[in-house]
Amino acid sequence: MKASTMAAAATVLLGILAAGTPVRADEDCDNVVKALEDAQLVATKTVDQTMDDIKKSTTQPADDKKKASVKNTFCSVVGELLGASRASRAVAGECGANQRAALAQFDKSIKEIEGAIDSTCK
């Protein structure tokens, strides 16, 4: 599952939760948050694979065009992961206080991703 697909799914779930739907039972929220955490792991693996590809391509001498391409690839994949993380965090936040561990995990992930984007992509 690509990060953008996960972000779209999380956005739909957020829309359902925010549209006045009755508060979900704790078990339903646990299932949704678990699914989001699993999707986040898949998205992280996608980022890892892209980073491996970037590392391989940077072992050879690069001109400015190639450097820009590598930077754009990095910023794109990390930006998708950030969006998916924020959407997942919003959905988990709608589930209430019993999702504190998941919220903390999403907050940590978001902070790390924002740091990587700030140092590279701006």
Q: Where are the domains of the chain?
A: 3-120
One-letter-per-residue 3-state SS of 45-103 = HHHHHHHHHHHHHCCCCCCHHHHHHHHHHHHHHHHHHHHHHHHHHHHHHHCCHHHHHHH
Q: Angle at CA 106, nearest 5°, toward 101 and 112?
A: 130
Task: Please write the tens of the pLDDT for every residue from 43-81.
Answer: 889 989 999 988 888 887 878 888 888 899 999 999 988
Q: What's the pTM value of the predicted model, to 2 decimals?
A: 0.66
C-alpha to C-alpha distance for 6 and 118, rounded to whole angstroms? 23
Task: Please write the tens of the pLDDT for every residue from 89-100.
Answer: 888 888 776 778
pLDDT band at residue 9 under the 50/70/90 scheme? low
